[in-house]
Structure formats: structure tokens, C-alpha cells
Amino acid sequence: MENKCRAKITGIGMYLPEKVITNKHLEASVDTSDEWIRSRTGIEERRVVEEGVTCSDLGARAALMAMEHAMVTSQDIDLIIVATLTPDMVWPSTACLIQEKIGANNAAAYDLSAGCTGFIYALATATQFVETGFYKNVLVIGAEVMSKIVNWEDRNTCILFGDGAGAVVLQPSQDSTGILANYLGSDGRGAHLLKQPAGGSSLPPTYQTIDDKLHTIYMNGNEVFKFAVRVMGEASLKVLEIAGVDKEEVDLLIPHQANMRIVESAIKRLNLSPEKVVVNLNKYGNMSSASIPVALYEAYMNQKICEGQKILLVGFGAGLTWGATLIQW
């Protein structure tokens, strides 16, 4: 066992389906409009997989890109953690399916379920393995095919979600850079507010659960919105407190891409200029566990992230869950 060191993101990648569903497309199938969706969410379009494409397909593509960026081979990977709400199947884990697809046969692999906060939870978990010296190369993936569990007749939810995957490789830091702090929270009293009711042991599949569309997303939008507006700011301030960093020192905020009004509330709470906030929900909608890593990848590729910056990741999701990560890049 080595001395504790920081965990550092050394590689990032993403993969998005090519198929685009615009707000105009949705106007043809549900009672909504492009203007209504934009004004209330900020979303203009989202990506959706073709028939037969799975969560593990997206996750594997993002993983290979992150591994190439980190200059590690499939044989180097010690652990694969996949955050997802939409696994290929209940079991075996999507992480094991991705392991086979990328040839990482030396790795341990498992899935993690924390709603849209999944990537933050997975990143915090992976950090412990690297900091303690237990593993040297950990692959963290957020992958979702939300289109498979959306009720396309429900205008309150079908407008929000998209498909995609993002991944990072975590390794021991050789200097003072890396993950400074993680903060996680949950409140099971809000479990009923956002869920996929059927398909588990509570409501196993029957003709009735299928007819009642209980295998699709249910959300109490007003209550989730109120929760998100409060917790995004609170989680951000908490992780800064843990790290001993002032909010004025934050160089870039990468929030979960759920709703522009929620993002704006976090900006206000942290007193950040909009230029310091990464927003791509207009292009991709809410990709759940994939939202933050995809936004991180795009920020890096667009040179919004520079060496020495402090990057704040923050998210919320079903559970209810929330979490934040502070990174010294």
C-alpha cells in the first residue's frame, strides 16, 4: 500500500449518437412547442440512439477515447465503474459488458446507481481507490440511453432527456494537481419524486405495468425543481468548505445539465460570471450520468480548462441524491 496521494484525471472522452431530435420534431408528436421548451428549459435538441444501440455501446466508445487520451492500454485498467440509470440489463453489470468490449480483462468492474448524480458518486468512489494506492488506473464512465425509458407521450418528461456517454481515467497525481475534495448527499424521503416505478422487485413486469407505462420516467417536476435549485448551491459551497477554498477562487463551474433555470440559480448562489459556467444542455438535453463528463470533455476540447484552474463539478438526481467535486487541474 502506497502513501496517500491525490487522484488526477489524466484522460477524458465522450461519445454521442448521431441522431438529433429537435424541439420541432417533438411538436409533431406531443402537445408542446419549440418556444415553450426553450423558455422553460433552455433545451433546443437532444441526441437519441438508433435501434439496437445500447448503453454499453456508448460507454465503450467514450472509454476508449479517454484511455487513448491518458495513454493507457486496456490491460492497464484496474477498475471500471459505470454510473447509469439505463443499464443494458439489470444484471450482469454494464461495466462488465464494457469491460469485454474494450478488452480490459485485468479490471474489476461494477455499476453504480445514484440518478443523475451518478458520475459524481462514481468519481468520488474511484478517488478513494487511487488515493489509498489500491488501484492505479481507474476508468469512470457515465453512460445513458434515456430515450429507452422515456414516455414519448408525456410532454413533461420527453422534452428533457437525451442519450450519450462520457468517461475519464483516474491515476495517482505526481504533483499537487488532482481532485481536492468530494461531497455526496442523499435523502430517500424524496425517492417518490423521480423514479422508474416498474421493472424491479417492487413492480415486476406484467402486461398491466406495461400498459400503464410504469417502465418509463415519472417525475414530480415542481418538487424536483425546488430541490435542485436549493441543493446545487448548497453542495457547491459544501465541497468548497471541505477543500478550504473560497468561491471567488473557482475558475469554472460544470453543473449537471438539467434545466437552464436551475443552472442560473447555482450561478447566482456562487456569484459567478456566466463566462465561468459550462452549458451544453441546449444541444443535448439532460443526459443524466453522462451530462457532467460530456460537458467536462467539451470544456477541455474548447480550451476553457487550463492548467492550474480550479474546476467545480456539481449535480443532483433521483434518490434524491446530490454531490460535488472540486478539481485542481
By annotation, the residues acting in catalysis are: 116, 256, 286
Task: Identify which of 215, 198, 210, 95 has the alpha carbon closest to the alpha carbon of residue 148.
Answer: 215
Name 222's Cβ contacts closer than 8 Å, sequence gap at least 6. Answer: none
How many other C-beta atoms are found inside a 10 Å radius of the C-beta of residue 132? 14
Computed over its alpha carbons, how large is the radius of gyration of the chain?
A: 19
Distance, in Å, from the CA atom of 318 to the CA atom of 195, rounded to the nearest integer, reads 7
Residues facing 112 on adjacent strands = 83
Distance, in Å, from the CA atom of 59 to the CA atom of 295, rounded to the nearest integer, reads 15
Residue 302 DSSP code:
T
How many other C-beta atoms are found inside a 10 Å radius of the C-beta of residue 176? 10
The type of residue at 181 is A
